[in-house]
Amino acid sequence: MKDNRLKMYVICSHVDKILSEDQISSVYDVPIQAGAARTDKRICAINDHDGFPESISERNHRYSEGTAMWWIARHLDTPYVGIAHYRRRLKLSDEELAECMDAGIDIVTSQELELSASIAENYGQTLFPSDWRLFMEILREYAPEDEAFAKEVYASAWIHPCNVGVYRAEWYREFCEWAFPMTEAFCRRSAEKADRYQVRDAGFILERLTHLYVMKKRRQGLGILEVPITNLKSVNWTPESEGIDLTDPLQVYETSDRLYRERWIGRACTLILEARKKNALDERLALLDAILGLGQVERAYLPMTMHEYLPAELRSDLGVLSHTYESFRKVVRLYLEKKNEEAATLLRGYVQLTRFSQVVAAGICTLDGRSQEEKDDLIRAAYGV
């Protein structure tokens, strides 16, 4: 039986993936649409924008669930508040949730997850090292009393992930008043990313702040309970779902190019890989497969930080650059070393195949009237070779 002590806000958006499993429901659930300012579509009775003067909904592409979390902080009207996602939530039944409140638990959070490196190192491996440095600068400015403890916490490889949990209302309000000014400062000082994954930087920072806050409260002696998370699976994307003929290289190339431009890098790689099995002798697909494969392998070892080193005028297609930049640098380096027609042809082919034309054109179009040596110097500067 539901009581009125808890509202479990289930955050969803108009671009949520289709789930292959039934959503979990609770008598405490209150669906809320995040990012409502970015669409005319309304999928819930409550959203994070309409009639809310303090809305940050427009920044949902950077904050992810954070825009709804901010709305919730300004509309607290129950002793406890919960945060869940449409496909990710704590493994607790309604009876267990009631027992937690009966026991006076302060915070129920996600079970700690062990990363492959420390929290600080992991951020730099998968996101922007410069953003982590910026975040630590902001933490020092806004919460200097927490800096030493934060360094200790972020030196560990264990983290409470996903921004899900149940809080006493006073602790949730305190968390948001502490965390969101820092997150907002981060957004102001960090350039918006073009990549679909990287653009969610504020949400990633907020997740690290959630973990830090939970650890603070644990140190202060609050009642903290960790429980596992249920992750519902989404319907898997397949090349067949694009409705193309994998035996037609032209269709495959055009579709992969569209996926690249829409920042679906992994899907483009999968599409090319599957098409190669059916078009083993197609030279263009073979080259593109090799390029994408190299980019995917190198991404596992190289943080996507090349945006930091590129001149502003060469940042128009970062979704492509972020995955194949290092392999492209090798082709550029070969051209600068050999200066022969074979190397020039390879460079032109690479530009065409991976749609670097937008990036290159932004810089090269300004070179009319300059000597070849000047052009080569710009290329070296632009691509760090």
DSSP string, 71-87: HHHTS--SSEEEEEETT
Q: What pLDDT is stored for residue 361 in this prediction?
A: 40
pLDDT band for position 281 (cuts 50, 70, 90): confident
Residues 99-123: what's their mean pLDDT?
95
In this prediction the pTM is 0.69
Burial class of residue 86 in the structure, from the number of CB atoms within 10 Å of its CB (0-12 exposed, 13-18 middle, 19+ buried): buried
Highest mean pLDDT among 18-22, 111-115, 338-342, 345-349: 111-115
pLDDT band for position 358 (cuts 50, 70, 90): very low
CATH number for the domain formed by residue range(s) 6-231: 3.90.550
For 135-177, how does the pLDDT look when each residue is reduced to its tens digit (9 = 90+)? Answer: 999 999 999 999 999 999 999 999 999 999 999 999 999 999 9
Residues 86-98: what's their mean pLDDT?
94
> 128 near 303, Cβ under 8 Å?
yes
pLDDT band for position 113 (cuts 50, 70, 90): very high
Runs of H (alpha helix) within 236-315: 249-261, 265-278, 283-299
Residues 361-376: what's their mean pLDDT?
55
Q: What pLDDT is stored for residue 369 in this prediction?
A: 59
Burial class of residue 126 in the structure, from the number of CB atoms within 10 Å of its CB (0-12 exposed, 13-18 middle, 19+ buried): middle
130 or 261: whose pLDDT is higher?
130
Residue ranges matching CATH 3.90.550 in the chain: 6-231
Cα separation, 333 vs 69, whole angstroms = 47
pLDDT tops 90 at residue 69: yes
pLDDT band for position 254 (cuts 50, 70, 90): confident
Cα separation, 384 vs 122, whole angstroms = 25
Residues 258-269: what's their mean pLDDT?
69
